[in-house]
Amino acid sequence: MEASSKNRKKILEVKNLKQYFNVGSDNEVKAIDDVSFDIYEGETLGLVGESGCGKTTTGRTIIRLYDPTDGEILFDGTRVHDLHGRKAQLEFRKNMQMIFQDPYASLNPRMKVRDIIAEGINIHGLANSEEEVDQRVEELLSLVGLNKDHASRYPHEFSGGQRQRIGIARALAVNPKMIIADEPISALDVSIQAQVVNLLMELQKEQNLTYLFIAHDLSMVKYISDRIAVMYFGKIVELAPAEDVYNRPLHPYTESLLSAIPLPDPEYERNRKRFTYTPREDNGEEEKMREIAPGHFVLCRESDVPKLQEKLEKYSMAHA
């Protein structure tokens, strides 16, 4: 995975992104505090963390729902927040789409499903006639596992899982290159979650989509992601291939998060230990992301590096 990623194209580069709210006032919030990462074309980057850690803000800033306080975001090599004029912005919005968490709140209750899905097609002028729009809507509905009769219905006539499929169809309508999925399955029932996850992965394979998958359900993130970034209070503390985050966690916060996942296995639950994480006190040494092993980045101090490498070796020995 690490080797192949070198040859792959970076579709999104986030550099030193900072997003502060209430700047200058007493209750200034550093929602994103100097975050950098890249996403390669065709991959899924999972972004996990607890509520309030800044993962949703990160997704929203990337898609330009917020203007960042500092830092830059490059999509396909162009700076997202420097795009001016209707045409350039439209082009960007066509390439990057979002799927929201709440399938109830994210669909306009007064629009028919056909119009919800067709809105993007019309705005971007992707169809020449109404018939073409209808045909495209039909295609999209069948792609996400609904049928064409559903086009004339309103959102309230659908279940949560079906609504999320409509949300996915809407995002796909403009043939995006990248989709930001903000907790797309959290509001769904267990048996429906698997359906939606399978759909997302199938679509990715067919259309070479790139996903930023934001979630707090760690076992699902592990399943869907190629690489995972763990966020803690506005900072990414660990970024590595999914396997490594789970099998070789290096940052103590990642370890504490892993130790808290409940698994459907009574024996495991009886035997596991849980850990709580308390950040170290600041001793003046600079903390930044350092590459401990190829592709495995950890937020740490210079003096931590030998210890972390030693730890990695212990993992290798334990796994062997």
Partner 1 sequence: MENILEVKDLNISFDTYAGKVQAIRGVNFNLKPGETLAIVGESGSGKSVTSRSIMRLLANNANIEKGEILFKGEDIVKKSEKEMRSIRGSEIAMIFQDPMTSLNPTQKIGKQIAEPILKHQNVSKKEAYERAEELLGLVGIPNPKKRMDQFPHQFSGGQRQRIVIAIALGCNPDILIADEPTTALDVTIQAQILELMKELQKKIKTSIIFITHDLGVVANVADRVAVMYAGKIVEVGSVDEVFYNPQHPYTWGLLSSMPTLETEGELYAIPGTPPDLLNPPKGDAFAPRSEYAMKIDTMEEPPFFKVSDTHYAATWLLHPDAPEVTPPAGIVERQKGYRARVLDVQPSEGLKEMSSQDAEDHLRQTDSELSPDEIATRKDKEGETVYHGSIL
Q: Which stretch binds partner 1 (CB under 8 A): 69-77, 101-109, 128-136, 312-320?
A: 312-320
Q: Which of 21, 66, 92, 315 binds partner 1 (CB under 8 A)?
A: 315
> C-alpha angle 65/153/205, rounded to 5°?
55
Strand runs labelled E in 87-127: 96-99
> 211 — phi, psi (to 5°)?
-120, 140
Q: Which of 108, 135, 223, 285 binds partner 1 (CB under 8 A)?
A: 223
Size of the site for partner 1 (CB under 8 A): 59
Site mask for partner 1 (CB under 8 A), range 163-192, x = bound: --------------------------xxxx
What is the rounded distance in angstroms from the CA atom of residue 198 to the CA atom of residue 178? 17
Q: In Å, what is the CA distance from 36 to each residue of 70, 203, 264, 282, 291?
A: 12, 27, 34, 21, 13
Q: Which stretch binds partner 1 (CB under 8 A): 95-103, 127-135, 177-185, 276-284?
A: 276-284
Q: In Å, what is the CA distance from 248 to each residue of 105, 180, 214, 237, 300?
A: 38, 27, 21, 14, 16
Q: Does 161 bind partner 1 (CB under 8 A)?
A: yes
Q: Which of 50, 70, 157, 302 binds partner 1 (CB under 8 A)?
A: 50
Within a 10 A sphere around the Cβ of 85, how many other Cβ atoms?
8
Q: Which stretch binds partner 1 (CB under 8 A): 39-47, 59-67, 166-174, 300-308?
A: 300-308
Q: Which stretch binds partner 1 (CB under 8 A): 92-100, 106-114, 132-140, 263-271?
A: 263-271
CB nearer to partner 1: give 129 or 271. Answer: 271
Strand runs labelled E in 2-117: 10-21, 29-40, 44-48, 70-75, 78-79, 96-99
Q: Which of 82, 130, 157, 265 binds partner 1 (CB under 8 A)?
A: 265
Q: Which residues contact 47 (CB under 8 A, 6 or more apart)?
A: 55, 58, 59, 212, 213, 214, 215, 228, 229, 231
Q: Does 283 bind partner 1 (CB under 8 A)?
A: no
Chain residues in the site for partner 1 (CB under 8 A): 50-51, 159, 161-162, 189-195, 197-198, 201, 216, 218-220, 222-223, 233, 246, 249, 252-253, 255-269, 271-280, 304, 307-308, 310-311, 314-315, 318
